[in-house]
Amino acid sequence: MSLSETARAMRENAHAPYSGFKVGAAIRAASGRIHGGCNVENAAYPQGTCAEAGAIAAMVASGEREIAEVFVIADAADPVPPCGGCRQKLSEFAGPEVPVTMATLDGRTLTMTMDELLPLAFKSSRMRRP
């Protein structure tokens, strides 16, 4: 399955009974392997997790740490951009030039780089530690 097909399939599995808004995400890691995730909501609302977070967790759990490409899909009029928290989560494993494609179910897409989505990202390299 391609990156976009994986994100679309993941979205079908989303657990989103509270918002009714299903999201699917897929990450191509540096190895070429694809990892997917979906949003998983919770009755205790703040405990819900985004699709991107699920895909990142799957990637890291399988032993990979470098994101080469991201694809996010949702049923919306316009491509849905990752939330602020997910931009920061992606930025932990994605360099500034990594492309993030946002897509609608009917095939509209918008691709931006990580740096465009999260300029001046806070990274571990910015920390001076004793």
Neighbours of 78 (CB within 10 A): 10
Exactly one of 5, 13, 48, 95 binds ligand THU (CB under 6 A); that residue is: 48
Give CA angle at 122 (120, 127), nearest 5°: 125
Q: Please, which of residues 59-98 interact with ligand THU by CB under 6 A?
A: 72, 80, 82-83, 86
For ligand THU (CB under 6 A), the number of binding residues is 15
Give the nearest distance from C-beta 52 to ligand THU in angstroms: 6
Exactly one of 4, 5, 16, 112 binds ligand THU (CB under 6 A); that residue is: 16
